[in-house]
Amino acid sequence: KPQLGNPQPRAFRLPEHGAVINRYGFNSEGHESAKSRLEAYRASDESRTSVGLLGVNLGKNKLTPEEQAADDYVLGVENIGEFGDYIVVNISSPNTPGLRNLQGRKHLSSLLRKVLKARDANERTAKKPVLVKIAPDLTDSALKDIASVVKSERVDGVIVSNTTIARPDAIKAHKHCDEAGGLSGKPLMESSTKVLHDLYALTGGKITLVGCGGVASGEDAYNKIRAGASLVQLYTAFAYEGPPLVPKIKRELAACLERDGFKSVQEAIGAAHRRK
């Protein structure tokens, strides 16, 4: 359903740290509005010639009770899942009450079964990869539970990670440090990459991982790949630097691969886990 999200102001830039704190709260015009835009895009010349991927990122409404959360995700798959190249089950935003509770073993297993059943029931979504987006603020036992569930339920991948509720020492003197919400950008790089590294080890490299959190350079992207990422996403750095950042990262990443003797990204995936 449409919802306004949290009251403004709800986004705070920390440019000297390459960071942002946001508490948007899934502000959205709802499925119908999104569906009309996605339909128009898929019918456009831009969609037919694009080489990029479009993800449909699903979350629950703020007022949906935790025990009914799966219904919101299933509706998302049914209403707009067909328009994405992949579908994201976002259970890790810190700005929707109770959302991160869905990362627990019992909730997550039940949720994913319902989402995958809904995906497979419709020929327009049946071949769409489903990825789970997790938080960086996880205990070791919680991460082990997630690894177990995503393997047993056979999801197609995990996005590691969403924003953090932690506040690293580097930003504690900033005037926005104490704002509620999720921190993204450069200060997230270390913690999100550690979770990525650990999840790759826990899943034996058998689940596709998407590295996300703090990527602002080719070296950052390379470190995500070495930790176990097959794909890398940009958010905050892209907001600060815009489209020119993408070819810059590609050039720098190519230089990193060449420097270390890799002929392709594929060869470098999980390299941090292999003995030299």
**Residues designated catalytic:** 93
Look up residue 12 and give its two tokens: 């705070």
C-beta of residue 249 within 8 angstroms of C-beta of residue 218: yes
Which long-range contacts (C-beta less than 8 Å, at least 24 apart) are formed by 63-68?
Answer: 63/3, 66/98, 66/101, 66/102, 66/107
DSSP 3-state of 261? coil
Q: What is the DSSP string of 53-115?
A: --EEEE---TTS-GGGHHHHHHHHHHHHGGGSSEEEEE---TTSTTGGGGGSHHHHHHHHHHH
C-beta of residue 87 within 8 angstroms of C-beta of residue 118: no
Pairing of strands 130-134, 157-160: parallel
